[in-house]
Amino acid sequence: MANDGLSAGAAARRLGVAVTTLRTWHQRYGLGPSRHEPGHHRRYTVEDMVRLQVMQRLTAQGVSPAEAAAWARRAPSDASLSGGSPDASGGSPELTAADLAGFPSAAPHPGASGRSGVSSDVAGGSADPVDSVPAARVGDGEGGAPADLAGGAPADLAGATPAGLVGSAPAGGGQTIPLGPRANPAARGLARAAMRLDGPSMRYIIEAAVTGRGVILAWIHVIMPVLIGIGERYEATARFIEVEHLLSRTVTEVLAAVPRPPRDREPRTLLAAADEEQHTLPLEALAAALAEQGVPTRLLGARVPSQALLDAVNRTGPVVVVLWSQLPGSGSIDQLERIQAVPHPPLILAAAGPGWPVEGLPPTVTTLGDLASAVRLIARATSD
């Protein structure tokens, strides 16, 4: 940035927000341009831009503007204090001078550098993500630049003033997605963005969570609570299918963008939704989480007819087959029995999802209860 600062228009462009938003942040929250020369419009300095970036990131997560501004005003007055203490920087220690040069207005693409090793710990069996990372602190700290977006400062805020965050009315007439009181702030932000049908913010939050802490933690603490919450909203009102669709689509896109292992690694895992089963997101999360571990998969997707699945098994000879059933109607056992009867059955045939009967599955069928243990099992079973 040139030493003489940025005009409002240039600052807005760099941040990817409207000029009117900058004016509002100035007038209501005191986050204005501080460089002033007589006879000229005020201009945004590097320090101003740091504050605005904090403001932008926190509001994108769903933190109320007033709360976000309070954090933004605490950003360091000297931007050269890159990586200053979280206290001084509003919990955004990643705001370095280098950041300012490019001023990215969106979270890095999943798979960009900076992903933490958390999920490989999980896959290696050394940590249970739910136990090892309290829900309110996902994304905190170690994962590199975007980690704070999934936790960091707002997680601390949530601990200090949960009512302030939960209670602020979202846009859209006070309609909310129910989340527990310990919900991760990024999940709250996602829920609010979902209810506003604000696709870009949804994508930004999910990408930041995935990039910052890996697929497993992002799924458990950010994506899954909102999916379950929107499911409850639907159940109670028979409405908000449009929210469910846009959220699903966005989750799909972000998970699909997680880089896949090199093409020369032959997939030995086949993932499919049961016949007539349209719910596929957990399988998409599984494929993306395995990809993070370098494990390739074949994901057939929704509503795979039994015969098509058999053909795929016979043609590709997978070591692991995972069949997902979400709705009770789609979890018919004969699909599993037919796979077991092929000439070369998979080493592991797993039934996953709440649609399968609790009792009566063939004894050789493995049940998978959660994403982390599924990743662990499959990574081990398919390693050379």
Shortest Cβ 104–ligand B12 spacing (Å) = 29
Shortest Cβ 205–ligand B12 spacing (Å) = 16
Amino acid identity for residue 7 in this structure: S
Closer to ligand B12 by CB, 69 or 230: give it: 230
Residue where the block lists tokens 């990372």: 133
Closer to ligand B12 by CB, 328 or 362: give it: 328
Shortest Cβ 172–ligand B12 spacing (Å) = 18
Q: Nearest to ligand B12 by Cβ — which residue?
A: 231
Q: Are 378 and 318 in contact (CB under 8 A)?
A: no
Closer to ligand B12 by CB, 104 or 362: give it: 362
- Residues contributing to the site for ligand B12 (CB under 6 A): 224, 227-228, 230-232, 234-235, 241, 244-245, 248, 276-282, 285-286, 326-327, 352-354, 368, 370-371, 374
Closer to ligand B12 by CB, 145 or 299: give it: 299
Shortest Cβ 301–ligand B12 spacing (Å) = 8
* 187: its two tokens: 């999940």
Radius of gyration over every alpha carbon of the chain, rounded to an integer in angstroms: 23
Cα dist from 281 to 102, 255, 288, whole Å? 34, 9, 10
List all residues 6 or more positions away from 180 whose beta carbon is below 8 Å from its beta carbon: 225
Shortest Cβ 303–ligand B12 spacing (Å) = 7
| Phi and psi torsions of 189, nearest 5° | -60, -40
Closer to ligand B12 by CB, 149 or 374: give it: 374
DSSP string, 118-184: HHHHHHTTS--HHHHS-GGGTT-STT-GGGGGGSHHHHHHHHH-HHHHHHSPPTTTT------TT--
